[in-house]
A and B are shown apart, each in its own frame.
Chain A
Amino acid sequence: MNTIQSTVFMALQTNDDTRPIIEALQRDNPDAVVHRLPAMVKIDAPGRLVLRRSTVEEILGTDWDLQSINLNLISLSGNVDESEDEMILHWNR
């Protein structure tokens, strides 16, 4: 195989909708690295990245539908596991 350290990522548009999402990702994934590029924010994490609805709602102070991430998601990598409460990106090895 190769010697790559496996990383997952989520890339979001830079806008007001995604600021609380990015903040939630940073809060719930201390190892995540945030790259700010023109019009786009890319969040890398070693092996696993979790987005929690409850954290976004706490930051927003209002209800938030996790599926609305579809509006601002540019790209991602990793196996996706999604429910009403969280979206997890992960590699199995």
Chain B
Amino acid sequence: MNTQDTRRPAGKKLSLKEKYAQMTRGLGWDTSYEPMDQVFDQLGLEGIKIHDWDKWEDPFRLTMDAYWKYQAEKERKLYAVLDAFQQNNGHLNISDARYVNTLKLFFTGITPAEYNAHRLFAMLGRQFPGPGAAIACQMQAVDELRHVQTQIHSISQYNKYFNGLHDHTVMNDRLWYLSVPKSFFEDAISSGPFEQIIAISFALEYLLTNLVFMPFMSGAAYNGDMATVTFGFSSQSDEARHMTLGLECIKFVLEQDPGNAAIIQRYLDKWFWRGYKVLGLVSMMLDYMLPKKVMSWKEAWDIYFVQNGGSLFNDLSRYGLSMPKYWEQSVAEAEHLSHQTWNAFYNFSGAAAFHVWLPSDEDMAWLAEKYPNTFDQHYRPRIEHYRKLQAEGKRYYNPSLPMLCQTCQTPLIFTEMDDPTRTSHRQLEHDGDTYHFCSDGCRDIFAEQPDKYVSAWLPAHQILQGNCVEPGTEAAGDPGADALRYFHVVAGQDNLDYEGSPDEANWRRWKGLDKTTPAAAA
């Protein structure tokens, strides 16, 4: 039997470029039973013109065989660490049980978003006729599913010992603050294929995911969380490839037709602002929720958006693209974002699936050092006021339901960037109704596609309309209590302050911090 490959000289291996060409371009074909434009029927809808799909370049030149090889190796490394983490009670080695609240937010907010990203890329791969693009999307769809699975697996160890991690899928569908990341992905997945890839691969992954995965995962390591840093960096090693896909995609589209630039700029403006609004949650994770802090939100924004995004847009200016609209505002707001976001959760912690707390004196000294222009002036006095009320037994809870932004679904908790005493609130009339927004950016996005955003499922509205009652149960008549059951948040266990929570009591017992408890004495 002759097993010699006759297409090339014996013994000579294909170069990386040749191999990539064979394994991608060589696998594509044009349909003959049905016309191509009907098979790929979404391509023409957005006005983007592509003349030659073969110009698509994947700079990593990763073929499927190499992909499986490296992904399998990543999994082996990850699961070795997870075994060690579980066998050695790794959850007891974190800096403080407060830290686990960042995982609750991550697991209910970001893990389901990874699943939505999986769905999005599986559909996108189907929409692109170029095999280079289709294969990159296919790999990413598999990556995103891997992220969901490894995150569920890693965090399952915490779910055995801490509250609030028991039902991330239902919470993502129903919990008010999780509608912010959820609506981001649903907005993307219901867009045209080019808008989807610009939204996720470029605006989210290239511009913004570094803000989640780099300082936060480094923070997980610093706080002793071996499981999270390992799945985080395992996910992020795929992310480096996704980001490169995002940049290649935008260059490819811009080089295909001069008319594409205006459409791409509109997508960039929109998705930068949508992504930035989701990151408010990350800002408070860095500044308020990590017991041992790595870097401030403002420092992270300066490095990963101003410096890194600035370099990127210098490069893209040759295609006529400019920095996304309102980017200056995001820089000005970096001095305020985390303080205002954490304050909102302190106000509404009765309806959250994680715990809150007031910063310690040491935390406040760190915040004052990192935010010399704003913290002592605006935010320390408010925290000291809350402290005083708590000491008097009058812990402040906001009894109302907040007004939500029609576009990003964030409550109207932010101030004007040049006046931290005035709430930022914008309005627009559409078809005889008044709609409310948190910012000029969100109002502009609505104005472009009002019919899309008027149908938004806004949690505060739904609660008031009586639509947030657990299916199969009777409404108790107390909308707050009904909503908590609907969210699958266990009142008195998952919500409210860390101090006094079952999580705190367990932690003190496990760590022997309470000399009076029998467990510590035993």
Q: Which residues of B contact A7 (CB under 8 A)?
A: 307-308, 311
Supposing A1-B313, A1-B317, A1-B323 touch, asked if A40 and B62 sit within 8 A by C-beta, the answer is no
Tell me which of B16, B243, B313, B322 contacts A75 (CB under 8 A).
B243
* B210 x A75 contact (CB < 8 A): yes
Tell me the total A-B contact number using a CB cutoff of 8 A: 117
Q: Which residues of A contact B307 (CB under 8 A)?
A: 4, 7
Query: A49 at interface (Cβ–Cβ under 8 A)?
Result: no
Q: For the complex, give the distance between the alpha carbons of A9 and B309 in Å.
A: 12
A51-93 vs B, CB cutoff 8 Å, 1 = contact: the mask equals 0000000000000000110111111111111111000000111
Q: How far is the CB of A50 from chain B (nearest CB, A)?
A: 14
Q: Which residues of A contact B222 (CB under 8 A)?
A: 38-39
Q: How far is the CB of B209 from chain A (nearest CB, A)?
A: 8
A23-51 vs B, CB cutoff 8 Å, 1 = contact: the mask equals 00000000000000111101000000000
Query: B351 at interface (Cβ–Cβ under 8 A)?
Result: no
Q: Which residues of A contact B218 (CB under 8 A)?
A: 37-40
Query: B512 at interface (Cβ–Cβ under 8 A)?
Result: no
A7-28 vs B, CB cutoff 8 Å, 1 = contact: the mask equals 1110101000000000000000
Closest to A8 in B: B311
Q: Which residues of B contact A39 (CB under 8 A)?
A: 217-218, 221-222, 229, 233
Tell me which of A4, A37, A40, A83 contacts B17 (CB under 8 A).
A83
Tell me which of B219, B236, B318 contacts A38 (CB under 8 A).
B219
Q: Which of B70-78, B258-266, B335-343, B466-474 contacts A (4 or more CB under 8 A)?
A: B70-78
Interface size on B, residues (CB 8 A): 45
* A91 x B315 contact (CB < 8 A): yes
* A70 x B315 contact (CB < 8 A): no
* B213 x A75 contact (CB < 8 A): yes
Q: Which residues of B contact A80 (CB under 8 A)?
A: 59-60, 244, 247
* B314 x A82 contact (CB < 8 A): no
Query: B214 at interface (Cβ–Cβ under 8 A)?
Result: yes
Q: How far is the CB of A2 from chain B (nearest CB, A)?
A: 5
Q: For the complex, give the distance between the alpha carbons of A8 and B308 in Å.
A: 8
Q: How far is the CB of B140 from chain A (nearest CB, A)?
A: 14
* B323 x A2 contact (CB < 8 A): yes
Q: Which residues of A contact B251 (CB under 8 A)?
A: 79
Tell me which of A1, A6, A73, A93 contacts B237 (CB under 8 A).
A73
Q: Which residues of B contact A40 (CB under 8 A)?
A: 214, 217-218, 221, 233
Q: For the complex, give the distance between the alpha carbons of A78 and B310 in Å.
A: 11
* B310 x A74 contact (CB < 8 A): no
* B59 x A4 contact (CB < 8 A): no
Q: How far is the CB of B231 from chain A (nearest CB, A)?
A: 12
Q: Which residues of B contact A75 (CB under 8 A)?
A: 210, 213-214, 236, 239-240, 243
Q: Which residues of A contact B323 (CB under 8 A)?
A: 1-2
Tell me which of B77, B213, B313, B318 contacts A92 (CB under 8 A).
B318
Query: B508 at interface (Cβ–Cβ under 8 A)?
Result: no
Q: Which residues of B contact A74 (CB under 8 A)?
A: 213-214, 217, 233, 236-237, 239-240
Tell me which of A37, A38, A76, A92 contacts B315 (CB under 8 A).
A92
* B311 x A77 contact (CB < 8 A): yes
Chain A contact residues, CB within 8 Å of chain B: 1-2, 4-9, 11, 13, 37-40, 42, 67-68, 70-84, 91-93
Chosen A-B contacts, 24 in total, with CB atoms closer than 8 Å, are A1-B313, A4-B307, A4-B314, A9-B308, A11-B214, A39-B222, A39-B229, A39-B233, A40-B217, A40-B221, A67-B60, A68-B70, A70-B237, A70-B240, A71-B77, A74-B213, A74-B233, A74-B239, A75-B213, A77-B308, A79-B247, A79-B251, A79-B315, A84-B16
